[in-house]
Amino acid sequence: MFRPEQTSTPDARTSDQSGEGLVTKVSKDATLCPALFISATASGQGKTTITAGLARYHRNQGRKVRVFKTGPDYLDPLILEQAAGSPAEQLDLWMVGKKRCRHFLYQAAQEADLILIEGVMGLYDGDPSGADLAEYFGIPVVAIISAPTMAQTVGAIALGLRQYRPSLPFAGIIANSLGSDRHGELIKESMPETIPLLGCLKKQDALILPQRHLGLVRPHELEGYDDKLNHIADIIESAGLNTLPAPVKFFDEDEEQDSHDAENHSNSLAGVKIGIARDEAFSFIYPANLKLLKRLGAELHFFSPCSDQTLPEVDSLWLPGGYPELHLETLSKNLPMRQAIRSFYQQGHKILAECGGMLYAQQSIITLDQQEWPMAGLIPGIGVMRTKGGCQGMQSAALPEGELRGHAHHRSKSEETLPAIAFGKRIKHPAPGEPVVRSKGLTASYLHFYFPSNQAATIRLFHPDEVLS
Choosing from 33, 101, 200, 355, the catalytic residue is 355
Comparing 51-65, 145-159, 208-222, 227-241, which segment has the lowest mean pLDDT? 208-222
| pLDDT at position 216 over 60 | no
Bond before 219 cis per omega within 30 degrees = no
Q: Which of 6-10, 95-99, 187-191, 462-466 has the lowest mean pLDDT?
A: 6-10
Which residues have C-beta within 8 Å of that of residue 320, sequence separation ≥ 6?
276, 277, 278, 282, 283, 284, 285, 354, 355, 356, 357, 448
Q: Which domains does the chain have, with CATH numbers?
A: 31-250 (3.40.50.300), 266-462 (3.40.50.880)
For residue 81, the 8-state DSSP code is H
Task: Kindly tell me if the per-residue pLDDT of 382 is higher than 60.
Answer: yes
Over residues 355-383, the mean pLDDT reads 96
DSSP 298-334: PEEEEE-TTT-SS--S-SEEEE-EE-GGGSHHHHHH-
pTM: 0.87
The DSSP output letter for 467 is P
Task: Mark whether 33 is an active-site residue.
Answer: no
Is the predicted pLDDT of residue 106 greater than 80, yes or no?
A: yes
List pLDDT tens digits, range 5-60: 444 433 333 333 333 333 345 666 899 999 999 999 999 899 999 999 999 999 99
For the segment 393-412, the average pLDDT, to the nearest whole number, is 92
Q: What confidence tens digit (pLDDT) does each residue in 182-211 have?
A: 999 999 999 999 999 999 999 987 667 665
User: Lowest mean pLDDT: which of 2-6, 88-92, 316-320?
Assistant: 2-6
